[in-house]
Amino acid sequence: MGELIHNAANRKKILKHLILELHRGEAPADIKNRLAEWLQKIPYQDVVEVEQELMAEGLPQEEVLRLCDVHARVLEGSIDRSGTPAVQPGHPVEVMRRENRALEKIIEKLKDLYRRSGSAGSPVQAGSLTAEMSGLFEKLAEVNLHYVKKENLFFPYLEKLGITGPPKVMWGKHDETRRMLKAAQQVLGVPGTLSSEDLEAMVETVLKPASQSILEMVLKEEEIFFPMCLDKISEKDWQDIERQMPEIGFCLIEAVAVRKPAGERGISGAEISEGKMSLPTGTMTAAELTSLLNTLPVDITFVDSEDRVRYFSQGRERIFSRNRSILGRDVRLCHPPSSVHVVEKILADFKSGKRDSAPFWIKMGKKFIHIEYFALRDEKGRYLGTLEVSQDLTQKKSLAGEQRLLSYE
């Protein structure tokens, strides 16, 4: 038995067999007993690799999602995290764990309200409990920030290492939880009073599943996801993740300041090397950047800090005509004399810091045109110039309802 436990290939073979038995409908309690008997403690890496293998072998992602909660509960307490490195305060994983503790506190309060809902003796008591639950679910909705940090910061670094299965499964579970939370907030927001029976039914069918879904994700993170991240992601990548976390925001905790390692210069301006321009948020060739600017559904004109026109985009359907002869021209000379005083006022407000934008909208025949000027500033707030953005909003003004990504054909 000892040889079996310590042999990684055998461990994974048994674990995969047990998960497939869950897939075929075997009782989770029986499988948990066999797991404890055969494997005792399972390194988290085995769980990750088995999930990845099952998806690669053709087990549909939807089925992996369905099994995710079941086998997480079966594996609870059986996963070995003893080799997980410690993290310092402010490390992205430490921040995410603090968010989890805050989520757990909210859910503990909800559990108390769930228990009390069964003995609500009057519509008044039921209404009071419903109002408390509604406030707590409003706070729980911040879990979206927690999930977005995983999806936009943690997952990309794992995917670069070839770890794609667990992120796909987790993202699917995030979306399930989001749908459950939305349903919970909707039923809690229905006007009118509830009977104690209606409240209890709402708790059992809608509210408990939503909060339980969050707790199950906390378990997956603590038992599998965070140890995997700490094992795989490099220190340099952790610094990148930490630097970007404030851009997304924090879930139920105070904003966390980014720790700046000694000697680090941070993200600077653009650099050009081997035909590519490296910007703080990515790298592009001149051809790619030109195509991007010309494909945007807006007209762009840039005026530098000396009030001279330095650039304009060349979209397929320009709103206002531009030609290269205006490059280097004083922007005041590009406007009719009757409106120069307005241009002067906008530039003065931008340079003084009084304003950062100036929007206008006009009708050109049947078209509705939106024009907005923006002050461009560097990271220290110094004025760099003005950006003019013009857009034909005629068609967009008539949009109604929704066309979501999944309705694309």
CB 20 within 8 A of CB 52: no
SS3 64: helix
Question: What letter would DSSP give residue 334?
Answer: G
Calpha distance 22→51 (Å, rounded) = 13
Reported for 151-154, long-range contacts at CB under 8 A and 24+ positions apart, including other chains, are: 152/244, 152/248, 153/92, 153/241, 153/244, 153/245, 153/248, 154/92, 154/225, 154/229, 154/233, 154/241
Place of tokens 């809608």: 206
Calpha distance 384→366 (Å, rounded) = 35
| pLDDT on residue 253 | 96
CB 276 within 8 A of CB 285: yes
Amino acid in position 385: G
What's the length of the chain?
409
| One pLDDT digit (tens) per residue for the chain, 409 residues | 444 445 667 777 777 777 777 667 666 667 666 665 555 566 666 766 777 777 777 777 666 666 565 556 555 655 555 556 778 999 999 999 999 999 999 999 999 999 988 777 677 888 889 999 999 999 999 999 999 999 999 999 999 888 887 788 889 889 999 999 999 999 999 887 788 888 889 999 999 999 999 998 998 898 878 988 998 899 999 998 999 999 899 999 999 988 876 555 444 556 777 778 888 778 898 889 889 999 999 999 999 999 999 999 988 878 887 778 788 888 988 877 888 899 999 999 999 999 999 999 999 888 999 999 999 999 899 999 999 999 999 999 888 888 887 777 7
Question: What letter would DSSP give residue 312?
Answer: E
Which tokens belong to 206?
């809608």
| The model's pTM | 0.67
Which tokens belong to 394?
């005629």
CB 166 within 8 A of CB 228: yes
Edge-to-edge order in the sheet of strand 299-304: 309-312, 299-304, 383-392, 367-377, 357-364
